[in-house]
Each structure stands twice: as C-alpha cells, then as structure tokens.
Amino acid sequence: MIDKNALREIASQDENASVEFKTGRIRPESLAKEMAAFANSNGGVILFGIDDSGKATGMESAPVDEDWVMNVARNNVTPALEIDFGLVELDGEMIAVVDVSKGKDKPYETMGKYYLRIGSTNRQATQAELLRLFQASGLFHFDRCGVPTASAKDLNMTALDRYFRRYEIEFSEEPEDEKESLLANTDILIEERQASVAGLLIFGIDPSRHLPQCGISFAHFAGEEIGGELIDKQNIDGTLDYQVTTGLAVIKNNILAPSTISGTRREDTFASIPDKVFRELLVNACVHRNYSIAGSKIRVFMFDDRIEFISPGRLPNTVTVEKLKAGVSYAVNPVIVKFMENLRFVDRLGKGLPMVYREMKKIGGRVDFQEIGEEFKVTLFWPENESDYNGFGGETET
C-alpha cells in the first residue's frame, strides 16, 4: 500500500492511465467498472477523497469502507478480483486508497462487459482487444485458428514431405484422405479445411499474402536515433524458419556496414556477439509475438550503440519481466512452438533469454526487457566499458 509521500506525489498528478480520483458517493456498478478496467490493463489506484484538482477533500466527500469495496471486488467483477485497501492521511484528511494490480486472471468483466483503461477513461474492449485479453489468459490460442483465405493448396508440399519424413511418413505418397487427416491431426488444417495460422506460418507458400502482419521489418540507422541516416532497410517475409535464417544473415551483413558516427568500434563490438544471441532473439520474436495484431510486423532496429527487437503483443498474464530474467517460459503460440521445436529452431523453453544475458555479460553488455503498450522489446546495449554494465535492465511502461 502506498505511503503518505507517494500519495502526495500521485495526488499532484492529473488522472491518467493508472490513477483515478473520486469524490461523492459511487455506485457499486461504477466502482466495478473502474476496477475491471485497471485489472485488464496495467493496474492502477483509485483514490477516494481527492477532487479532480488533486486537493484532499476527505472521506466525508467520498464515503466508502473496506468491507463495501472488497464486496464489490468479489461480487461485481468476474472472476473475483483481489485488491488492497488502505487509509492514508493527507493534509489533515483521510483518503481511501484502492490499489488494483494488473490482473493475473484476465479478462475481467462486469455486467457482461469488458473494459480497458485508456488514458484517464475506461473504454469497453473492442473485439480485437478482447481477443488479446483471452490470449494472454491462455484460454485461447490464435495460432490454432483457421485463415479464411488459405487452404491445403496454399501449403508447400515439399516442406510437408521433409517434415513428415522425420517421422518415417512419406506424406506425398499418402492417399488424399490420409493427407488431410494428417494435416488436421497436427493442427496444420482445421475442421473447416482452412490452413491454421501456425500451419501457414511454418509450411505456407506465401504466408504474408494471407497474414500481412507476419514478417520482419529491419532498419539500420547511423548514430543512436531513428532519425539518423538510413544505412539499410529490408522487409523479410516468408515462413518463420526463413525469417529467422534471413534475419540473422541481414544482421551479420550490417555488422560489416561502415558507420560515419562511431568508426570501427561498432563493428568490433557487434562482431564479438555470438550468432546464437541474435538468432535466439529473432526466434523469440517470431515464436512468441501476437499474430492477431494486424498491421504490425516484428521490427529490428540497429544503431551504433544498440540493437532492438520489437514484437507485437504483451506478455501473458502470469509472466513478468522479472520472471523472464529467471528463465520462466511461456507459449502464446503453442502450435508454432511445437513445430519450431521439431525443426530444431527452439531448444527447451526458458533457456534462450538467460543465455542472451550470459553472453552479453561476458562482453560487458546490457540487456533490457520492456513491455510497452501492446509490444515487447528486447534491447542489447554495448557500453564503452564493462563498468557500465549493471545486469538485466528493463522496466514495464504504460
């Protein structure tokens, strides 16, 4: 629970994505809406007894008690919400503080509706936003869904032959009904005979034709800002194995590109990074991104002091930046993970990011993890010397 100094600092702000002020009486339905919106987003605090200007008006202006607030959280929000309640004195007035954490059991609904906190307002979730909430909960996996415009004819039969041969199955020689059964049983096709998202991304002839959001956008800038001179820019489309292999080649080629800003130091520093570090971050982005977010590709930005890997989608409900540092694994796309494991692109889940940390530490580098809005970013930094290194960095931003 926040203390007096923290409360004073919060009260000095305007209402925002994580702060709500309340004066006057409030109906249970309204409070449930506020709580659900915070829990479905990144959490926040509701302060009873502070007006819109940040002035403490006290409990007489906003009469609530702990039992009433807890009952609203339990009975008016589904699933029941765990919150913290406390009373803090500010400028001679008692303020009730309701602290709502980022929900571990998203999505939360009240009165049959799902809300998100957007800026200083609560907004009913759109269909796409609700889909992402259910994905984060692990109750729904987009990679199992069918792609309406794609069928078996959009799959690469040669790639399927190679894949099934690992299991001593001659796919091309099987009768048509057996082929279809195999594809359905391995989640490459769904019941409606559509290619699944995972099937198309792993075995598709031209995945980006049907899923334009798949692919990697690479840009190499001179200097340390996006506004610097553009040294190289490439779009990498195709199946996920192709994206990883080609993405690694593009990064390595750009390591050798001259820089007008930092001379040869950047080349030497980048060259000291093992290929497996770049490869792991490319695989991580391709395997764990949220493919339901249309119009947003994976982005890789290279600068003189760092390289950024940005993938669409939040971390799942139970995964935090701190847990990633410890090697906690997650699978937003379990079907994709299965195929990439079988194709030897993914080792045991949870080993990759700690490996990146260890390799960067060897050269005095730094790794930052950041969850920023609907994206997850991993940044590799190369400091001037090892004394600049301070371990796994990274904060969650809202």
* Residue 244 phi, psi dihedral angles, 5° rounding: -65, -50
- State if pTM tops 0.85: no
Give the position of tokens 């800026």.
119
Average pLDDT, the chain: 87
Asked whether the CA dihedral 258, 263, 265, 268 is positive or negative, the reply is positive
Band of pLDDT at residue 137, cut at 50, 70 and 90: confident
Please give the sequence-ordered ranges of beta strands (E in DSSP) within the chain, or none if there are none: 19-22, 44-48, 83-90, 93-100, 109-110, 113-118, 121-124, 216-221, 230-236, 298-302, 306-312, 366-372, 375-381
Q: How many helices (H) and strands (E) does the chain have?
A: 14, 13
pLDDT at 258: 54
Residue 344 or residue 72, greater confidence:
72
pLDDT band of residue 397 (cuts 50, 70, 90) is very low
Condensed to tens digits (0 to 9), the pLDDT of residues 288-310 reads 999 988 889 999 999 989 999 99
Q: What's the pLDDT band for 394 if we cut at 50, 70, 90?
A: very low
Residue 388 pLDDT > 60, yes or no?
no
Confidence category of residue 135, pLDDT binned at 50, 70, 90: confident
Asked if the peptide bond before residue 79 counts as cis, ω within 30 degrees of 0, the response is: yes
- If one counts every other C-beta atom within 10 angstroms of the C-beta of residue 30, the result is 15
Tally of residues, the chain: 398
Q: Which two tokens stand for residue 281?
A: 């971050």
Q: How far apart are CA 329 and CA 221, in angstroms?
A: 32
pLDDT at 54 over 70: yes
> Residues with Cβ < 8 Å from 347, sequence gap 6 or more?
341
Closest of 241, 250, 239, 248 to residue 209, by C-alpha = 239
Percentage of the chain beyond pLDDT 70 is 89
Task: Report pLDDT for 373.
Answer: 79
- Quick one: pLDDT at residue 155? 97
Tens-digit pLDDT profile for residues 174-222:
999 999 999 999 999 998 899 999 999 999 999 999 999 999 999 999 9
- Is 85 within 8 Å of 98 (Cβ atoms)? yes
How many C-beta atoms lie closer than 10 Å to residue 236's C-beta? 21
Sign of CA dihedral 187, 192, 197, 203: positive
DSSP state at residue 378: E
Cα 130 from chain centroid (whole Å): 15
Cβ of 199: how many Cβ atoms within 10 Å? 30
pLDDT > 90 in the chain, percent: 61
Token couple for 140:
């729904």
CA 210/CA 279 separation, integer angstroms = 25
